[in-house]
Structure 1
Amino acid sequence: MFLLSQKHIVYTEPLIVQAGTEVTVFYNPSNTVLGGKTEVWFRCSFNRWTHRYGPLPPQKMLPSDVGSYLKVKVKVPLDAYMMDFVFSEKEDGGLFDNKYGMDYHIPVYGGVMKEPPMHIVHIAVEMAPIAKVGGLGDVVTSLSRAVQDLGHTVNIILPKYDCMNLSNVKDFHYTRSFFWSGTEIKVWFGRVEGLSVYFLEPQDGKFSVGCIYGRNDAERFGFFCHVALEYLLQTGSHPDILHCHDWSSAPVAWLFKEHYKQYGLSSARVVFTIHNLEFGAHFIGKAMTYSDMATTVSHTYSKEVSGNPLISPHLHKFHGILNGIDPDIWDPYNDNFIPVNYTSENVVEGKKAAKITLQQKLGLSQSDQPLVGIITRLTVQKGIHLIKHAIWRTIERHGQVVLLGSAPDPRIQNEFVNLSNQLHSSHGDCVRLCLTYDEPLSHLIYAGSDFILVPSLFEPCGLTQLIAMRYGAIPVVRRTGGLYDTVFDVDNDKDRAQIQGLEPNGFSFEGADSSGVDYALNRAISAW
């Protein structure tokens, strides 16, 4: 899937590269910064540019029989485990396509050498499903699982909150204690979704306040970052990568560089990921300065924030990498929360059964109407004025609406409680607002909905639209951030989808007013 996902730009024949063979590399400059240049030079090496022979001399690419692709032949050494390459407009350089500073890498199979595994430690304050507030928690878990599946060693360090659901932690046990700054820190260990997790519990009650956020967070999380590094130091750990996330674990970047790098953790590199630039600007700016590499969660969001003064001085080390979802956790073929498991083969029957179950569970009429699902935190970022408008528009178009979500702000929560009471009395057969957090119900809504609405004013990546597509619910989204990168409008994005080797897969709209959401929602319901 990874190799096919970049086929619109580069691919090899054969697609799977074997050590000790000759492969042909095909490259389409018209889809890159080289913008259709006919003279392109290919520069290649192996094993992440560390091969003993060093980079090969530049080769001029030749025309091919495949559209606007150019081609070049490469001999792959027997000791290769990774093929690395970039493209340039001239033999001596000029303009480069180096995949926005990342370079192109294709795995090599069957060689006499294997890539040495890395030790990666995520220091984070959320992790699904045991301490999840938003998408950050999902990504910490699914990214860690994906990297572990590649053969690397992955550990996660979390605060031990008193509000955690420890029933999802296997082999949970106390391991040791240590002291930092006069406070005893108890360390617990457990396995979550197959991942090794270390829980740090300061004995002064910092994380025994009944919630993850909302209690002097800067001081609590700053303390946590310090003791996480102290734990690694005292246990003699030598990670290759320290990965910290958002403002809440951003202090890891500068605490490591200023206090711990010289004391035995010297081999580590710091990766900092921005999941949402809206919170903790000072912390994020400082982490950008101190990190070795910084990422955010979609390519479009990286462009949207690149002019921000916290980001702009560091563009040389800042990359947008699209989030993914864990296909084992979000899997309609193996999901205990839906009535009939399904794949793309029996999606019609599976979704029909889920829709009936959802209607029964929530007391909606069991009529065959278009059902619009909305699964979100109710915050201004998520476009709550557009959500309210879309509910009324769907009713007018004889559809049904199920909303699942709650608001951190009590005033917004009360607004939706009042709206819920009004709608349930006037349109109780076609609208249900479930103003809470309910993971099992979310699975049923994804499976039972025809459409999932995501009208965010800004959205760094968004997981909702990705999960929707996994369950065969068509996303209706605002064109921003990761929503733009993942949803291709059936009427307006055919060419953009084709360039990426994809098909149109949803409905989208510009603007942030009611006419915008109407434009997408009306087309969706009419298509239904």
Structure 2
Amino acid sequence: MLPKYDCINYDLYDCINYDLVEDLVQEGSFTWGGTAVRVWRGGVEGLDTVFLEPENGMFWVGCIYGKNNDAQRFAFFCGAALQYLKNQAAPGGRGAADIIHCHDWQSAPVAYGDRGGAKTVFTIHNLSYGADLIGRAMQACQVATTVSPTYAREIAGHPSVAAHLNKLYGVLNGIDQDIWDPSEDPCLPLHFSADNVAAGKEAARRALRQKLGLVAADVPIVGCVTRLVAQKGIHLIKHAAWRTLERGGQFVLLGSAPDGRVQGEFNALREQLSRAYPDRAALVFTYDEPLSHLIYAGSDMFLVPSMFEPCGLTQMIAMRYGTIPVVRKTGGLVDTVYDVDHDEDRARLKGMDTNGFSFEGTDFAGMDYALNRALSVWYSDKALWHSLRKRAMTQDWSWNSPALDYVELYYKALKS
């Protein structure tokens, strides 16, 4: 169940486009909070989905977040959602809910609202936002989860969580392997799997260099696709760009900053890099999903130096494309990246193979330690590098295992 945003999907002409929702129809309306709320229903990737559209315009604002009244807007949605569920439980409705699964602060009020007899599972995606609401949801829910085992341990002492550790479980997120599939990806010049990873990545590398104006050379490409915010370790991203170029490599960044000051810093960095290393670096400040696919496939290494990272998907996507992650040891990055030089035993305990390079700390020395080792292997041990690519591509980061964990937790909630 979602708000019916007016920006749910835009086409190439910036027109509202609901084509991604199958058989979208309005199936009625009800009144809540002094306004009419239209009820729409359709299918999203095969999942029956309800869209609530209040006529007070709270979700006709051209964006999902970023308004000064976000808390008011999502509180209204939560109240409307609870009213909708109450209506469905009444005679003539579709039936009462068994479990309501709420996510983060935006739907936390549902977890502690009037849910009838429904049980609640509550998932924390990022405790940095709306901690008070999250704390109330943690108290009210039957089962709580967060998006990686390590992040569950990292937040265990937070006041919103500490009193409810007996109901908190860390379940690693998965990636959609239908979207992120190099063997069928329409954004790539050559489809590839672990069996032809060398040819596939070489084709992607040529296309990426041509698109971004980088010189063709037998050097490694370090890629980064991220929001440019403090959480993502922006000081380390800047440093890694210079270090990569000093070591003879090429650097590609796709992302943008919501903070104008930070964006200005990266605009200046782009100018500095272009003067010092022409045709060797490309910083693209926009949203471009086809380009992101090409970066995942065409890069040799993928940078994720986050200060904290509840789960992180980009490192898993990169590995799916045979691109080796270079990450800071935090949150879900710990649970998915096993350092080539230091994590053999830890990987073995999880039934995994080593697959990347990691570092601790938040200073440049730590970043250099991981990135320099990755670059050195690329330059000096092509056999090991090829083996790393193949092994990363064959590891399973899908939803198959996490989905089974959630089914077990739903049953636990029902029995509580």
Same fold per superposition (TM over 0.5): yes
Q: Distance in 2 between matches of 1:172 and 1:337?
A: 28
Structure 2 counterpart of 1:247 = 105
- 1:275 and 2:125 matched: yes
Deviates more, 1:382-391 or 1:185-194: 185-194
Pick aligned residue for 1:308 from 158, 161, 177: 158
Deviations along 1:355-403, one digit per CA (max 9) or x if unpaired, are 1001101111111210001011111010000000000000000101110
- Give the AA of the match of 1:242: I
Q: Distance in 2 between matches of 1:300 and 1:260?
A: 31
- 1:369 and 2:219 matched: yes
Structure 1 counterpart of 2:346 = 496
Pick aligned residue for 1:185 from 31, 37, 62: 37
Deviations along 1:166-211, one digit per CA (max 9) or x if unpaired, are 2322222222111112201112222222222211111011011111
Give the CA RMSD over aligned residues: 1.1
Structure 2 counterpart of 1:13 = none
Q: Distance in 2 between matches of 1:284 and 1:428?
A: 48
Pick aligned residue for 2:20 from 151, 160, 168: 168
Q: Residues 374-385 of structure 1: matches in 2 within 5 Å?
A: 374-385=224-235
CA positional deviation for 1:508: 0.3
- Give the AA of the match of 2:279: D
Pick aligned residue for 1:481 from 318, 331, 344: 331
Deviates more, 1:337-346 or 1:161-170: 161-170
CA positional deviation for 1:220: 0.4
Choose between structure 1 and 2 for higher RCO, CA contacts under 8 A separated by at least 6 residues.
2
CA positional deviation for 1:311: 0.7
Q: Distance in 2 between matches of 1:322 and 1:440?
A: 26
| SS, match of residue 73 in structure 2 | helix
Structure 2 counterpart of 1:452 = 302
Pick aligned residue for 1:433 from 273, 283, 290: 283
Q: Distance in 1 between matches of 2:174 and 2:22?
A: 25
Q: Distance in 1 between matches of 2:261 and 2:20?
A: 33
CA positional deviation for 1:426: 3.3
- 1:416 and 2:260 matched: no
Structure that is richer in helix per residue: 2
Pick aligned residue for 1:234 from 83, 87, 91: 87
CA positional deviation for 1:421: 2.5
Deviations along 1:83-140, one digit per CA (max 9) or x if unpaired, are xxxxxxxxxxxxxxxxxxxxxxxxxxxxxxxxxxxxxxxxxxxxxxxxxxxxxxxxxx
TM-score, normalising length: structure 1: 0.68
CA positional deviation for 1:214: 1.6
Structure 2 counterpart of 1:198 = 50
- Give the AA of the match of 2:267: V
Q: Distance in 1 between matches of 2:180 and 2:103?
A: 23
Deviates more, 1:167-176 or 1:200-209: 167-176
CA positional deviation for 1:230: 1.1
- 1:333 and 2:183 matched: yes
Q: Distance in 2 between matches of 1:422 and 1:501?
A: 45
Q: Distance in 2 between matches of 1:191 and 1:335?
A: 23
Q: Residues 45-84 of structure 1: matches in 2 within 5 Å?
A: none
Q: Residues 389-408 of structure 1: matches in 2 within 5 Å?
A: 389-408=239-258
Structure 2 counterpart of 1:260 = 115
Q: Distance in 2 between matches of 1:448 and 1:484?
A: 24
Q: Distance in 1 between matches of 2:345 and 2:52?
A: 50
Deviations along 1:449-478, one digit per CA (max 9) or x if unpaired, are 101000001111110111111111000000
Structure that is richer in strand per residue: 1
Q: Distance in 1 between matches of 2:377 and 2:22?
A: 46
- 1:219 and 2:63 matched: no
Structure 2 counterpart of 1:50 = none
Q: Distance in 2 between matches of 1:168 and 1:412?
A: 34
CA positional deviation for 1:445: 0.6
Structure 1 counterpart of 2:398 = none
Q: Distance in 2 between matches of 1:386 and 1:240?
A: 46
- Give the AA of the match of 1:243: H
Q: Distance in 2 between matches of 1:477 and 1:161?
A: 34
| SS, match of residue 244 in structure 1 | strand
Q: Distance in 2 between matches of 1:403 and 1:246?
A: 29
Q: Residues 21-40 of structure 1: matches in 2 within 5 Å?
A: none
- Give the AA of the match of 1:297: V
Larger C-alpha radius of gyration, 1 or 2? 1
- Give the AA of the match of 2:83: E
CA positional deviation for 1:424: 2.7
TM-score, normalising length: structure 2: 0.86
Structure 2 residues without counterparts, runs of 5 or longer: 10-17, 379-416
Deviations along 1:255-313, one digit per CA (max 9) or x if unpaired, are 1xxx331xxxx1x2101000111011111111101111000011111111101111110
Structure 2 counterpart of 1:442 = 292
